[in-house]
Amino acid sequence: MRLSIYILRRVLLLIPVIIGVASVTFVLVSALPIPARLSAMYGSPGFRDPWIYSPTEPCQPPHEAQQCYNPTYYRYLNRSGLGDSIPVQWVHYLENVFTFHWGTVSNFSTVAGAFPGTGGRPVSSVLAWFLPYTLELVGLSMVILLLIAFPVGRLAAARRNQPADHAARALSFTGFAIPTYLFGSILITVTAIAIGSATGYFAKSPWCPMGEVSWNEVLGSWPNALCFPDNQYPAWITSGYISHPTGFPTVDAFVNGAPWLGVDTLLRLILPAFVIAFAHLGLILRYVRNSSLEVMNLDYVRTARAEGISEKVVINRHVGRNSNTLTVTVLAVSFATFFGWLPVAETLFSLNGVGLMIALSAQNPVDFAVLTGATLILIFMVVIANVIADVIVAYLDPRVRLGETMSI
CATH number of 125-401: 1.10.3720.10
Report the pLDDT value the prediction gives residue 202, as an integer from 0 to 100. Answer: 62
- Listed in sequence order, the residues at least 6 apart from 133 whose beta carbon sits closer than 8 Å to its beta carbon are 221, 249, 346, 351, 352, 353, 354
User: Among 210, 218, 222, which residue's Cα sits nearest to residue 192?
Assistant: 218
Report the pLDDT value the prediction gives residue 407, as an integer from 0 to 100. Answer: 40
Helix (H, G, I), strand (E, B) or coil at 129: helix
Q: Where exactly are the structural domains of the chain?
A: 125-401
- Per residue in 49-61, pLDDT (tens digit) is 666 788 776 666 6
pTM score of the predicted model: 0.83
Judge contact between 223 and 216, C-beta under 8 A.
yes
- Per residue in 257-279, pLDDT (tens digit) is 888 888 888 888 999 999 988 88
Report the pLDDT value the prediction gives residue 406, as an integer from 0 to 100. Answer: 42
pLDDT more than 70, % of the chain:
82
- Cα dist. 138→101, 111, 240 in Å? 25, 22, 22
Class of residue 312 by CB neighbours under 10 A (exposed 0-12, middle 13-18, buried 19+) = exposed
Report the pLDDT value the prediction gives residue 170, as an integer from 0 to 100. Answer: 86
| 70 conformational bin, left if phi > 0, alpha if psi -120 to 50, beta if neither | beta
Report the pLDDT value the prediction gives residue 402, as an integer from 0 to 100. Answer: 55
What's the rounded Cα separation, in Å, for the pair 79 and 349?
Answer: 41
Neighbours of 92 (CB within 10 A): 16
Mean pLDDT by 10 residues, the chain (408 residues): 74 84 88 85 71 72 61 82 87 89 87 85 90 90 87 82 86 81 87 74 61 73 78 81 87 87 86 88 82 74 72 67 69 71 87 89 85 87 80 69 47
What's the rounded Cα separation, in Å, for the pair 89 and 97?
Answer: 12
